[in-house]
A and B are shown apart, each in its own frame.
Chain A
Amino acid sequence: MEQSKLTTLGTQDSRLLFERSKRGKEAAMLPERAFPKEDLAANIPAKLLRKSEVDFPELSEPELVRYFVNLSKKNFSVDTHFYPLGSCTMKYNPKIHEDVAALSGFACVSPLQPEEEVQGVLRIFDDLAEALKQLTGMDAFTLQPAAGAHGELLGMMLARAYHASRGEKRRNVVLVPDSSHGTNPASAAQYGYEVVQVPSDERGRVCLAALEKLVSDRVACLMLTNPNTLGLFETDILKIRDLAHAKGALLYYDGANLNALLGTVRPGDMGFDIVHLNVHKTFTTPHGGGGPGAGPVGVVKALEPFLPKPVVRRNGTRYHLDYDRPNSIGKIRSFFGNTGILIRAYVYIRMLGLEGLRQASHDAVLAANYLRKKLSSAYLNPHNEYCMHEFVLSARDLAAEHHVHAHDIGKRLLDYGFHAPTVHFPLVVKEALMIEPTETESKETLDAFADAMLKILKEIEETPDLVRKAPHTMPIRRPNEVEAARKPILSSRDLKRDQSHNWSAHQP
């Protein structure tokens, strides 16, 4: 019987707050009115007052705590599960980071306080920027972007400002490899660039011959991830640099995969002009179920004047905010960015030091190659060579022969207690399974994951439906995403109005 089936993750009770609400209950204990005799509404013109009731749920605090804690148990997370999610760098998030960011000396500070009142946090900004310069080989950094894609958007603005300052306004093309992250073309297009795709060659690298034809004096920049999304280092990076620079194009580094390279090789030394980092990947600030992250952007000297304002300047032991930047592109976010996240990243850098960061990258590369070796004889690996921090398998043959797809394998892994790899990405590999183990998993976990992958292979041959219909042990089976998009129900209010469903959601 479906309802009595054991689940390994959380409960099956999916009632929402409004379905648990009961009139008269309260949770937060707010202070009493300090001036209860003031008739507030009488002092305000009636036309300004809210007419409709705010129909919030009414629950007591113990009920709310149980509700949200039980929700949390319906999640996979790094604290509870292995997440071999390619290009996402789901590594352990040290607990001290949370404690430091929560110190009232950081958490209870307004960005509008004068600079003499916030010397501690300004010092962290300056020290973090210096550390990032060292680790990337760039000349200057801004910490303002709130996420990697936000950093990419800033990179596009910097490229346009730089070219415009040189009177080169015709450069309206951005080149991206066909293996690039989706944010690369989206960021370029959002800022009005024409996006042109550069094909990969049979080695899984940027096709140099194609690139040579595509680079022209209309190209503003070439965006690259290195190692690329196949987990392969762009061996020809110095030739690519020369090709781009010879035509006056800038080279943009998508830092999503920097976790492979810390202390080994730097984007600045590869010839990149603009670099964004994802501190929620490389510097292990938590993903938070989809943010907050932070996306610092580093540039070479020639682009420094265009960086957002303000920049932190040190004068002896005092730190100042410099807003006097006539060529700055302005601001891409209010104030200084996601300070609390940046503090976590800096704690990580200080705790590990150079040797620790280098070891992180080495262990990440070692773990990826170990899994690659263990899996590539059983699964198809179209680019089976030494990889960096991740590698890509293909379920192409399994799809053709058994009608089992990459995402089915990912879903079946959930039953084995492993998060799915990144599936159907990069687009250059059909039926891709992109696996990034990171440096914070034990050999025992890596072995268990490899075993699960091999068992699933056997299941595909013997009982393919078991895989096609997976997962079987999660709080839900596969959701009907087509229906969700066809008739969007996006709030409790939508749900209350919707009479078409006969929900079997209520299982207290």
Chain B
Amino acid sequence: MSYFPLTKEDQAEMLETIGVEHFGQLLQAIPTEIRNPKIDLPPALSELEAQRWFQSLADLNATSKTHLSFLGAGCYEHFIPSIVRHVTGRGEFYTSYTPYQPEASQGTLQALFEYQGLMCELTGMDVANGSHYDGASALAESVLMGLHHTGRTKAVLCESVHPEFREVVKTYLTGTRFEIETTGFHPDFRTNLEELKKKLTADVACVAIQSPNFFGLVEDLTELETLVHQNGSLLILVSHPLSFGFYKSAMEWGADVACGEAQPLGISPSFGGPWLGYIAVTRALVRRIPGRLAGVTTDESGRRAFCLTLQAREQHIRREKASSNICTNQALCALAAAVYLASIGKKGIRRVAELNLERALYLRKAVGALKRVEAVTTGSVFNEFVVRFEKPVSAVNAALFEKGIIGGLDLVRYYPKLRNQMLVCATETKSKDDLDRFVSALKEVTA
């Protein structure tokens, strides 16, 4: 087998050095009655056969390359500069271990430090961690951080936070001593502040809101921030990270925690992962933030040196007293995001946000002008909005697919009451021609 360098002669010599006659003697600690189970696996493939077989499976999937896609809803098709794949494809990065030996890991550590710094700039927050599994588990850990920091027992989630995120938070808290309350939204998708006020009791540790929310609406958080902080609770803001290139940063809104899914930052959709959860906090929460943190210090010669720091929060030092059990997470995805953000740069971050916004606004206007289509998200948006049809979205999407288009998300999947409503996404990957093609296709299939 080509991955195994030991030859038959090597194996024989090694057994002799060890002082055994045959390999089986090394397994003597294993009870014989459970050894050598019957296992049924498909036969091994040669590399050529594997290439062909997996290509044939890949060909069974519809993609944003085979079809024109307007599907977002938490997974976004964004432009990825070639440099991202070439840097993350360096074996020195992707086949390295967690940087526990800083002297032999300065590359990974400095890159993580860059990522943290870039995320701090983007969100405006003081401290960003080195990565988390995904946006949903990043929110779950942020909620736990809020509960532990305040010593209170309840978390409030806005219903316009991504349903997958809310489900994960619920799973993390079910069976524990903590509780979750959900608070609703108005028909135009704004958070219902009257309802929230009633739920802001003294036991509320934190309130999690998403903006742009699941329906694409960018919310005015001025009053909400005051309410939450007057109650002594923490404000957790979930956002599409590129929206910060144009819209108010998490720090400017007064958030205590900014978190979410950083897949849009140079990471491919890949059917849901590997992605990148981000968590960024105020200085007050630095010793509670979960996950790795790269810091800078000096070495014994006085040179700048990078190392993992504040490890007293982590499981390999603190075991059951750790702030989180997280160990291996998404370092290579953080590297991808760092390369992406560095490549986009100072001018580009605003530009890319504007490109999303202008396309979404154009498309909303054009689609909303169609006879049997109505734009429902009418407020400020980033790259998504909801439209309503006179028939089920599943029928619209099936007809669009026939025309080579992957339509938006059918909202009944997560909100059974929102019938005939589609969440449409337009990022910078859509040219004016693409947008016009979608509009004319939609006109035909809704006629």
Chain B residues, Cβ within 8 Å of A149? 315, 325-328
Minimum distance in angstroms from A343 CB to a CB of chain B: 8
Q: Does B26 contact A (CB under 8 A)?
A: yes
Contact mask for chain A residues 18-37; partner B; CB cutoff 8 A; 1 contact, 0 none = 10000001111111011100
Q: Does B230 contact A (CB under 8 A)?
A: no
Is there an interface contact between A88 and B348, defined as CB atoms closer than 8 Å? no
Cα(A98)–Cα(B11), bound, Å: 30
Is there an interface contact between B96 and A366, defined as CB atoms closer than 8 Å? no
Cα(A490)–Cα(B435), bound, Å: 42
Q: Does A333 contact B (CB under 8 A)?
A: yes
Of A85, A110, A147, the most chain B CB neighbours within 10 A belong to A110
Contact mask for chain B residues 238-262; partner A; CB cutoff 8 A; 1 contact, 0 none = 0000001111110010000000010
Q: Does B299 contact A (CB under 8 A)?
A: yes
Chain B residues, Cβ within 8 Å of A270? 34
Instruction: Pick the residue among A45, A53, A68, A121 that contacts B57 (CB under 8 A).
Output: A121
Specify the chain B residue showing the minimal Cβ separation from A18. Answer: B117
Chain A residues, Cβ within 8 Å of B35? 264-265
Minimum distance in angstroms from A143 CB to a CB of chain B: 10
Is there an interface contact between B346 and A476, defined as CB atoms closer than 8 Å? no
Is there an interface contact between B248 and A48, defined as CB atoms closer than 8 Å? yes
Of A96, A114, A148, A333, the most chain B CB neighbours within 10 A belong to A333
Instruction: Pick the residue among B73, B87, B302, B310 that contacts A112 (CB under 8 A).
Output: B73
Contact mask for chain A residues 201-244; partner B; CB cutoff 8 A; 1 contact, 0 none = 00000000000000000000000000000001101011000000
Cα(A500)–Cα(B247), bound, Å: 35
Cα(A147)–Cα(B141), bound, Å: 15
Is there an interface contact between A56 and B346, defined as CB atoms closer than 8 Å? yes
Cα(A340)–Cα(B336), bound, Å: 15
Interface positions of A from 177 to 216, Cβ below 8 Å from B: 182-183, 185-192, 195
Instruction: Pick the residue among A104, A152, A238, A264 that contacts B325 (CB under 8 A).
Output: A152
Interface positions of A from 78 to 112, Cβ below 8 Å from B: 78-81, 83, 85, 88, 90-94, 96, 98-112
Instruction: Pick the residue among A33, A350, A419 that contacts B104 (CB under 8 A).
Output: A419
Minimum distance in angstroms from B307 CB to a CB of chain A: 4
Is there an interface contact between A341 and B328, defined as CB atoms closer than 8 Å? no
CB within 8 Å for A362 and B136 given contacts A287-B98, A290-B331: no
Is there an interface contact between B60 and A481, defined as CB atoms closer than 8 Å? no
Is there an interface contact between A366 and B296, defined as CB atoms closer than 8 Å? no
Is there an interface contact between B349 and A56, defined as CB atoms closer than 8 Å? yes
Chain B residues, Cβ within 8 Å of A278? 328
Is there an interface contact between B346 and A27, defined as CB atoms closer than 8 Å? no
Chain B residues, Cβ within 8 Å of A104? 58, 63, 65
Minimum distance in angstroms from B33 CB to a CB of chain A: 8
Is there an interface contact between B325 and A121, defined as CB atoms closer than 8 Å? no
Is there an interface contact between A112 and B303, defined as CB atoms closer than 8 Å? no
Q: Does B183 contact A (CB under 8 A)?
A: no
Q: Does B370 contact A (CB under 8 A)?
A: no
Specify the chain B residue showing the minimal Cβ separation from A491. Answer: B117
Is there an interface contact between A291 and B272, defined as CB atoms closer than 8 Å? no
Minimum distance in angstroms from A323 CB to a CB of chain B: 10
Contact mask for chain B residues 430-443; partner A; CB cutoff 8 A; 1 contact, 0 none = 01100100000000
CB within 8 Å for A121 and B271 given contacts A16-B110, A334-B134: yes
Chain A residues, Cβ within 8 Å of B245? 50, 54
Is there an interface contact between B325 and A476, defined as CB atoms closer than 8 Å? no
Chain A residues, Cβ within 8 Å of B114? 16-17, 492
Q: Which of B165-173, B186-194, B198-206 binds A?
A: B165-173
Cα(A33)–Cα(B350), bound, Å: 12
Is there an interface contact between A488 and B315, defined as CB atoms closer than 8 Å? no
Contact mask for chain B residues 36-61; partner A; CB cutoff 8 A; 1 contact, 0 none = 11011111110100110111111111
Cα(A117)–Cα(B350), bound, Å: 34
Is there an interface contact between B300 and A478, defined as CB atoms closer than 8 Å? yes
Chain A residues, Cβ within 8 Å of B25? 386
Of B63, B103, B271, B362, the most chain A CB neighbours within 10 A belong to B271
Cα(A378)–Cα(B166), bound, Å: 56
Is there an interface contact between B96 and A76, defined as CB atoms closer than 8 Å? yes
Q: Does B234 contact A (CB under 8 A)?
A: no
Chain A residues, Cβ within 8 Å of B176? 191-192
Is there an interface contact between B41 and A349, defined as CB atoms closer than 8 Å? yes
Is there an interface contact between B34 and A491, defined as CB atoms closer than 8 Å? no
Is there an interface contact between A411 and B269, defined as CB atoms closer than 8 Å? no
Instruction: Pick the residue among B3, B53, B62, B106 that contacts A75 (CB under 8 A).
Output: B106
Q: Does B90 contact A (CB under 8 A)?
A: yes
Q: Does A505 contact B (CB under 8 A)?
A: yes
Q: Which of B16-24, B149-157, B383-391 binds A?
A: B16-24
Is there an interface contact between A350 and B45, defined as CB atoms closer than 8 Å? yes
Specify the chain A residue showing the minimal Cβ separation from B171. Answer: A330
Cα(A392)–Cα(B277), bound, Å: 35
Instruction: Pick the residue among B86, B92, B220 that contacts A65 (CB under 8 A).
Output: B86
Is there an interface contact between A477 and B270, defined as CB atoms closer than 8 Å? no
Chain B residues, Cβ within 8 Å of A332? 137, 168, 171-172
Q: Does A131 contact B (CB under 8 A)?
A: yes
Cα(A111)–Cα(B296), bound, Å: 38
Is there an interface contact between A419 and B101, defined as CB atoms closer than 8 Å? yes
Contact mask for chain B residues 79-111; partner A; CB cutoff 8 A; 1 contact, 0 none = 101010111011111111111011111111011
Minimum distance in angstroms from A20 CB to a CB of chain B: 10
Is there an interface contact between A480 and B298, defined as CB atoms closer than 8 Å? yes
Chain A residues, Cβ within 8 Å of B341? 56
Is there an interface contact between A351 and B45, defined as CB atoms closer than 8 Å? yes
Interface positions of B from 353 to 383, Cβ below 8 Å from A: 354-355, 357-359, 361-362, 380
Q: Does B343 contact A (CB under 8 A)?
A: yes
Cα(A72)–Cα(B108), bound, Å: 7
Minimum distance in angstroms from A106 CB to a CB of chain B: 5
Is there an interface contact between B39 and A354, defined as CB atoms closer than 8 Å? yes
Cα(A188)–Cα(B324), bound, Å: 10
Is there an interface contact between B246 and A49, defined as CB atoms closer than 8 Å? yes
Of B116, B133, B135, B167, the most chain A CB neighbours within 10 A belong to B133
Chain A residues, Cβ within 8 Å of B168? 330-334
Minimum distance in angstroms from A28 CB to a CB of chain B: 4
Is there an interface contact between B19 and A475, defined as CB atoms closer than 8 Å? no
Is there an interface contact between B60 and A189, defined as CB atoms closer than 8 Å? no
10 A-B pairs with CB atoms under 8 Å apart are: A27-B81, A35-B362, A48-B218, A59-B345, A74-B107, A104-B65, A106-B58, A135-B41, A360-B4, A478-B299
Given contacts A38-B358, A50-B247, could you give 13 more A-B pairs where the C-beta distance is less than 8 Å? A10-B107, A27-B344, A83-B97, A106-B58, A109-B269, A110-B269, A118-B61, A118-B271, A182-B327, A289-B98, A351-B47, A353-B43, A481-B307
4 pairs of A and B residues whose beta carbons are closest in the complex: A105-B58, A353-B44, A79-B91, A288-B332
